């Protein structure tokens, strides 16, 4: 084409060759930058806002950013494996303590926040597995531990509520939620029994499945820390039982929730003594409590129908019971075991000539007794035992233990 080409010919040339090139260039400039993480975009936005010289304008822009985060439940802000903890308020220092640093016990994990210049916003950026769920609190000026005021998600512990970090791929266990429409079992008030073996009274509660009156030879689950396993905000075991029984996924089961709290003084918790490989406490179960339960309820008296469950020190205790007396407990569920408390438990399990047939053990990978559980797992493997082992990206928390109740119940009582 020469310089004297007509207008229509120039138009055709533009449409055919030049326009596609221009479109590609425009899209490359205007398209979102997917390689820039949203968290970094948020941080940069806050920093840019903090640099606004006009105080009123800066405050207004910060309010808009913060209100958007609150309304979208984005505190903490999570993306893939990154978590951005945020706090807004006047302070000399802000940090975050929780499962991830053993509630300030692990000083190798640095959780101090950075105050963003020109703002009252503090942040701490870190990484966790994308499916992690962890308990935490915000610590103001080193000694004021508070729930995160910007985070509506909470998980209760034995000491009250904590704020909850939910990473993007974490999935909530719906079976811990009560369903008003389904029939429920009953749970007794505290029942008192005097233990000659321990030299003091002990109380417990009993869960009976819906329709219990027409049932016979039911299996029995015994739990230590029963006041917490039975609490709907903690272990939520009765709720999970109701849901699974209604769905016909497990055989109906009786549960005995044994409490370590002194019946005469609820602030006195005796678990540190009772659950530390205590022969007297084992005798209480085998010689006093179990005979009482089997004389009072429609339950099977065979060891194959009994399971002992516990968490932390209770996990240690459960292992001690089952490997010391598999003729009594042929099933054992061990959660977050504190085997470090009585390390002779490894020898007891390793040296036992007879062991329980059904074993479940679980532990968290963040601030939990992970090494203890893995060491026992190797002993189980060397003994060629059949067992279920579970690790979750959570901490030493009822949020993890309650969510595993269905796994435990299905393993031992599933149809």
Q: Within 10 Å of residue 193's Cβ, how many Cβ atoms?
A: 15
Q: pLDDT tens digit string along 208-255?
A: 999 999 999 999 999 999 999 999 999 999 999 999 999 999 999 999
Query: Angle CA(195)–CA(196)–CA(200) in degrees, nearest 5?
Result: 50
Measured between alpha carbons, how far is 268 from 218 in angstroms, rounded to an integer? 33
The alpha carbon dihedral of 121, 125, 130, 132 has a sign of: negative
Q: How confident is the model at residue 12 (pLDDT cuts 50, 70, 90)?
A: low
Q: Within 10 Å of residue 202's Cβ, how many Cβ atoms?
A: 24
Q: pLDDT tens digit string along 172-220?
A: 999 999 999 999 999 999 999 999 999 999 999 999 999 999 999 999 9
- State the residue for tokens 């005798």: 283
pLDDT at 5 over 90: no
pLDDT at 7 over 70: no
Q: Which residues contact 313 (CB under 8 A, 6 or more apart)?
A: 271, 272, 275, 276, 338, 341
For residues 330 and 356, the answer to whether their CB atoms sit within 8 Å is yes
Measured between alpha carbons, how far is 297 from 285 in angstroms, rounded to an integer? 16
Measured between alpha carbons, how far is 310 from 319 in angstroms, rounded to an integer? 9
Q: What is the mean pLDDT of the chain?
A: 93
pLDDT at 380 over 50: yes
Q: Which residues contact 94 (CB under 8 A, 6 or more apart)?
A: 87, 112, 113, 115, 122, 138, 139, 140
């Amino acid at each position: 084409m020469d310089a004297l080409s007509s207008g229509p010919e120039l138009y055709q040339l533009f449409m055919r060759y030049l326009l596609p090139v221009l479109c590609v260039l425009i899209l490359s400039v205007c398209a979102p930058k997917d390689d820039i993480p949203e968290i970094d975009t948020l941080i940069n936005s806050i920093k840019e806002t903090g640099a606004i010289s006009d105080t009123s304008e800066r405050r207004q822009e910060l309010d808009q950013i913060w209100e958007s985060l609150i309304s979208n439940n984005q505190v903490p802000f999570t993306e893939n494996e990154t978590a951005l903890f945020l706090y807004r308020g006047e302070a000399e220092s802000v940090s975050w303590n929780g499962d991830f640093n053993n509630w300030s016990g692990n000083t190798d994990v640095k959780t101090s926040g950075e105050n963003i210049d020109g703002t009252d916003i503090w942040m701490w950026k870190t990484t966790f597995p994308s499916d992690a769920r962890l308990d935490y609190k915000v610590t103001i000026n080193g000694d004021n531990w508070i729930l995160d005021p910007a985070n509506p998600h909470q998980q209760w512990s034995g000491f009250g509520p904590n704020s909850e970090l939910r990473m993007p791929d974490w999935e909530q266990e719906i079976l811990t939620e009560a369903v008003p429409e389904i029939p429920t079992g009953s749970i007794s008030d505290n029942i008192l029994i005097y233990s000659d073996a321990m030299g003091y009274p002990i109380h417990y509660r009993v869960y009976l499945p819906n329709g219990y009156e027409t049932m016979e030879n039911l299996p029995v689950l015994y739990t230590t820390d029963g006041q917490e396993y039975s609490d709907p905000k903690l272990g939520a075991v009765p709720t999970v039982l109701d849901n699974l029984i209604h769905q016909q996924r497990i055989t109906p089961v009786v549960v005995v929730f044994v409490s370590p709290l002194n019946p005469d003084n609820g602030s006195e918790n005796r678990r540190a003594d009772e659950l530390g490989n205590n022969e007297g406490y084992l005798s209480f179960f085998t010689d006093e409590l179990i005979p009482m339960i089997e004389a009072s309820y429609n339950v099977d008296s065979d060891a194959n129908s009994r399971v002992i469950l516990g968490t932390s020190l209770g996990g240690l205790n459960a292992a001690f019971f089952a490997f010391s007396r598999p003729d009594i407990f042929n099933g054992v569920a061990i959660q977050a075991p504190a085997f470090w408390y009585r390390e002779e438990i490894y020898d007891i399990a390793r040296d036992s000539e007879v062991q329980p047939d059904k074993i479940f053990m679980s532990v968290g990978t963040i601030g939990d007794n992970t090494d203890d559980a893995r060491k026992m797992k190797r002993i189980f493997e060397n003994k060629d035992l059949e067992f279920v082992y579970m690790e979750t990206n959570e901490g030493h928390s009822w949020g993890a233990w309650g969510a595993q109740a269905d796994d435990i119940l299905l393993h031992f009582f599933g149809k």
